[in-house]
Amino acid sequence: MYEFEIHSPTNLEEALKLKATFGAELHPLAGGTDVLVSIRNNHINWGECPSLLNLNKIQKLHFIRETPDTIEIGPLLTHTEISTHPLIRKHIPPLAKAVAFIGSPQIRNRGTIAGNMCHASPAADSLPILYCRNAKIEIQTHNRTNLVPIEEFITGPGFITIDPSGILTKIIIPKLPNYIGDYLSLRQRQALSCNVVSVGVEMFRPNCEGKITDIRIALGAVAPTVVRGRKTEKLLKNKVLTEDLIDEASSLIQTECIPIDDVRSNKSYRQAMTGVLLARFLFSQI
């Protein structure tokens, strides 16, 4: 058996006061699909009786809304809600596709995008598209609010940059009107499987046969964090897609990741597959 202490505030102000008092010793709890399993298996040193801050009674943290330039997502929104929400499907369709890969229906119905982000796995399905979109994370403490770019928020496997007295209160995702995007991944099976390698892409091309005005590429499960393929992006910008250009981009993207060997795959396969997945997207646009 394992024990923990739970604080269940009913509003954000109360939650922030608790975090100000207990700091890093008080661990936020949203869906619990990562935190509770970690406590049960003692994946990190939780201590004899971990203190959890249950956020589920704070309705202010459960929302999705549209601004002229962004989509804002509250930390309690579940993967199922994101994958099916009309605003996400309209403005960020690759994210809707990506989170539909996460876990099982039960996990998607309970797990939250903020939890997936704070778990900070480089293989997290929700992250590559957020990196492509240059998403920002709103962190509130009792006396201030900060916006942190996602590439600064996640610093390594299981590590995030957050004030010990802070709570993640919002994910801000820029709209990219008229961009064509996709999320591609390889895994040992379609369901209940962590991805082996993933690629998120967002591309803007005013004319379907013209030059690429902008392209963002993010790679998952091939480095300690999700990484942007900035050299490959630079290669593709202001170019017309050809088979030779796609072959060149496919080779270059493999140099922009530093995968590892583990139980799910090996370094050389992951590296090669980043090129395969990127080429698969680019060929679909010719």
Q: DSSP E strands: which ranges in the chain?
A: 5-7, 26-29, 51-54, 64-66, 70-73, 136-140, 145-149, 154-156, 159-160, 167-174, 180-186, 197-204, 214-220, 227-228
Task: Examine the domain organization and report whether 23 and 68 are in the same domain.
Answer: no
Structural domain harbouring 128: 59-174
**Residue 164 and residue 67 in one domain:** yes
Same domain, yes or no: 41 and 64: no
CATH number of the domain to which 208 belongs = 3.30.390.50
pLDDT digits (tens, 9 = 90+) for 94-152: 999 999 999 889 999 999 999 999 999 999 999 999 999 999 999 999 999 999 999 99
**Can you give the pLDDT at residue 77?**
97
In this prediction the pTM is: 0.94
Q: Are residues 123 and 87 in the same domain?
A: yes
Averages of pLDDT over runs of 10 residues in the chain (286 residues) are 84 97 93 82 74 95 98 97 98 97 92 93 95 98 96 95 96 97 87 84 90 97 96 97 98 93 82 97 95
Number of domains comprising the chain: 3
Number of neighbours of residue 169 by Cβ within 10 angstroms: 20
135: tokens are 């998403």
Distance, in Å, from the CA atom of 157 to the CA atom of 171, rounded to the nearest integer, reads 20
Q: What is the pLDDT of residue 34?
A: 81
Same domain, 155 and 80: yes
Out of 144, 174, 204, a domain closes at 174
List the CATH number of the domain containing 154: 3.30.465.10
pLDDT in tens, 225-247: 999 999 999 999 999 999 999 99
How far is 123 from 224, CA to CA, in rounded Å? 9
Q: Angle at the Cα of 58 (from 54 to 59), degrees rounded to 5?
A: 140
What count of residues does the chain have? Answer: 286
Assess whether 67 and 129 both reside in one domain.
yes
